Structure 1
Amino acid sequence: MSTREKSQGDVGRRDFLKLFGAAGAAASTLPLGGSASADEMVTAATGKPDHQVADAPKSHVGYSGYEFFNVDESAFIEAAVDTLIPSDSTGPGAKELGVAIYIDRQMAGGYGKGDRLYLEGPFSEGKPEQGYQLPMTPSELIRAGVADVGAYVQKSHKSTFDGLSAKDRAAVMAELDGKKVELPTVPTATFFGLLLQLTIEGYFADPMYGGNKDRAAWKMIGFPGADAMYMDKIEPFRNKPYTADPKGIQDLI
């Protein structure tokens, strides 16, 4: 995003993404407050047990039509992720890598439905360190936030969010990030924070979850993928760049 090309000295946006990705590239989204088995993670992310995902053609896994978002919502999400992580000379953007599909699958699955969230209340405004404090599931939060931002953009710009120029989209995202817009249905900071978190996750997640198409983000940061054994590579590549094509979970099944 143009307003965040630099952060903390001379560390640019791509440098930040590389640092973030190196630390968490192999992780997938898990429901707040709990962990999940590999089978649960696959089912939550794709809507199918892992054996069905394994049997499906790899080129089709995670790249079919939207399961949660409607036409207007998917247009917003595609424009939003493209604004948060646009393509540049360093690497591809989030839209190119299918991050919108990743977010859609998360919202359609157990994470989006709040399967591991306590949603019985009482609810009150909490402090940031207290974590998620809303009576809404993540999918309800995202859907309501998309509608709120869409209404704000329609009122202020007489346009849909995806109809704005790249510069105006970046300005709207900067306003949300700076809490300069008060959304009527959801807390602005909570909505923007989750949208940004999901965008970064989808950019670096294993491709089987919908984003990081062709493992392009892993290639950009030099992450070798999900293969758990690299002992035999230590000596041959000592003090040399390890340039092997990264492997995803699907490549190891």
Structure 2
Amino acid sequence: MAKKTWVIKLGGAVLNTENAARALFDVLSNQPSHNFVIVHGGGALVDTWLKEAGFVSAKHQGLRISPAEQMPHIVGALAGCANKQLMAQAIAAGHKPVGLSLYEAGVTASQKLKALCLVGKCESNNDSIINDLLNVGRLPIVSSIGFDEQGLWYNVNADEAAAAIANNLNAELIFMTDVEAVLDANKQPLHQLDTKHIETLIAEGVIVGGMEVKVKTSLHAALHLRRGVYISSWQKPENLTALLNGEHVGTKITP
């Protein structure tokens, strides 16, 4: 029987929390009947590096404005430090990781909006080495740094990157974030969200900023994948175990 492939996006403060990633990689070690691809950002690390370099970080519609002069620091933090931190935790948990950018993972980037400078949007290029790596037992760990056809580099929102890779692989998609689920106006978890409900909560200002990007990306991915996409917390590794076993944990986004 063919293994099911899961794309797991690690976000939030997972990189800044000692052994948090290790606990998640331990869960994956106990799931030999599945294939996994890890996609990550590293916003807090980027903030720190830019601040230390004397830059001011700004956001527009929940996305980091990424001027050319900041890109070496953004690339270094995401494709360098964050990626290798995750590789280290994966190795300690018994995996054989390979660090990649979006280019090797079958995703080409192009400019999203002029106002965002070098923030990229994703386009599939059908030239991915992910399946080759999975076939030889490796764990791809993909940073959200992308390239266009001319080799210009871009900072891509990691949620959008994970959705693009899941679409390429026709894989299940889980966003592991800082919160247990998407919350309603009373800060109570929402177990399921569809297009209409999401539009209402965004219009009411309940879902804003980074979570708005995440929810819209999840919905877009659910439409393309024609299946539910999950948002759950990395702070409880047992949530990941439950999701992999087909249980409903966190928020399920459906078209």
Normalised TM-score (structure 1) = 0.31
Identify the structure with the greater strand proportion.
2
- Higher relative contact order (Cα pairs below 8 Å, separated by 6+ residues): 1
Larger Rg: 1
Identify the structure with the greater helix proportion.
1
